[in-house]
Structure 1
């Protein structure tokens, strides 16, 4: 157990609320010598070891992802993120559902980064299986399908953009060559079934903007944005809070900020907000240090270099499972 009080409190909270519930069956300590999908010295290990910026990147990714109307309706129809009363979605965020979704995301991006090869493959199979269950029709009659290659490409681009952008802006020691992260992270996207994925920062920015003609702020997205969150029950650092909404929209490309009706404060206030967030995120990381899963992976893969890139794309069709069966896998 870490010695300083902040680290102890963080470790106890993380263990009770996330690790014990969402890290079940994930192996970080063995087998000895297995570097996993990435390994020591990789850009992914460096980026994902800073949990506060990882979380911020996931929140920003979820924000821009939801500018696709189909994804808004996927979440509304299928996700725990949507608040429901007697089973009927209200259009608001369910704080507990948001926390569960974030915890599953943390588990996935820590597990695929630092877990054994078998652990990373298991996580990818589970997410693919969940995607297979997400199909339906929007109120305007347009069908949506989480297995659609165009959706997978958009989803991948939003995630790698969010994680890389949060790292560049708020990490104390950001990578000098951020494209190395983009190149490595493709392994995750391909494991989830993605094809024709962007592999550099410039390609990702171009990919995101190319989707602009099909993006929109749906009523669902509007209910989860800006002034509509002033009475949110979420704590400031949780998804669905007014502050996290600001932090996510402030990271967006300018075209997306216009779509989301984001107006930055005056330059002095903007610099002060960003500096305060930078200090808070890095102070928390310095106080707590990397997760024990990172330290276990270091010991497991000691002396091994990052493994050469091998395709993680599924080699055979996945079995068709019900949502209940998929949830039992997690």
Structure 2
């Protein structure tokens, strides 16, 4: 009789292949070319952190939460994203499950592809995201313009992502990186932000925390954000482990820095309840990883560099302007 963990791993692989890999990993190369380390290589902190898919997903949920405290990003999503539910083109204040699934799928392909993919794969993913950012421009109802290529926005976006991924890893990974090893992750991940056009990016845990708090004067819980958090999510029918559920919303707010928790009206449970909730989430995330193991893409990347690696690329920042494409043209090449 096959071990139960093997059965669970096979089921997970089939589900991941049907719902994520077949839709969002098309054209991404992990098995070759032989010796290509990609952007980071097997000895990097990024390879270790991103190999734990459950904490990676939680980190992305946390990053999306704090990112949306910027009113401009709230309006970018409202005007341009498929995540808001729409009836006859008008957002209702709810979340479109399919739109949210698409956002998660693209995010996973990007952060797994840039970690473990070939150098060409990582560069292709970065070009696609930059091209999509070029199309996200508009005006908020208060008359302020927003632009996804704005250097301040890119810096904020980068800081929220590296904060979310590192914080979820540090709190919920069974064997998290600590001290200098965790700082190495913050330093390595700068390559991703630079590839998306970011400049003057924070490169340590302290710098990221300082960067996030420095944006506080411009942050707010907009009506858009309020509709998608806290009590307004009760009874929405989303499964507890899925993004958009009341529990995942709680988990994201529980990870926030204290100043952001106050902004988001987070009320910390009593110590016993807090420990139980965090413990249950820790067990669920690590239990899922223990049952399923690392993704096929990680294993392919390990085999690709088993005989040694060539020198990594010197820099990931774009070396020339991108062609201007419409959203439809970008999606056709994704």
- TM-score interval, smaller chain: over 0.9
Shift in Å, 1:41:
1.3
Counterpart residue number, 2:130: 128
Unaligned runs of 5+ in 2: none
Contact kept, 8 Å, 1:39 with 1:304, in 2: the verdict is: no
Counterpart residue number, 2:25: 23
Contact kept, 8 Å, 1:189 with 1:197, in 2: the verdict is: yes
Contact kept, 8 Å, 1:53 with 1:166, in 2: the verdict is: yes
Counterpart residue number, 1:203: 207
1:185 aligns with 2:202: no
Residues of 2 paired with 1:43 and 1:309: CA distance?
Answer: 17
Contact kept, 8 Å, 1:92 with 1:220, in 2: the verdict is: no
1:239 aligns with 2:213: no
- Which deviates more, 205-214 or 226-235? 226-235
Residues of 2 paired with 1:62 and 1:206: CA distance?
Answer: 18
Q: Deviations over 1:23-65 (max 9, x none)?
A: 0000000000101000111100000000000000000000000
Aligned length: 330
Unaligned runs of 5+ in 1: none
State which of 136, 148, 155 in structure 2 corresponds to 1:146.
148
Q: How does 1:133-282 map to 2 (within 5 A)?
A: 133-176=135-178, 177-282=181-286
Contact kept, 8 Å, 2:170 with 2:177, in 1: the verdict is: yes
Shift in Å, 1:259:
0.2
Residues of 2 paired with 1:234 and 1:307: CA distance?
Answer: 45
Shift in Å, 1:231:
2.2
| TM-score (ref. length: structure 1) | 0.98
Residues of 1 paired with 2:201 and 2:33: CA distance?
Answer: 31
Query: Could you say what the CA RMSD is over the residues aligned between the two structures, in angstroms?
Result: 1.4
| TM-score (ref. length: structure 2) | 0.97
Counterpart residue number, 2:295: 291
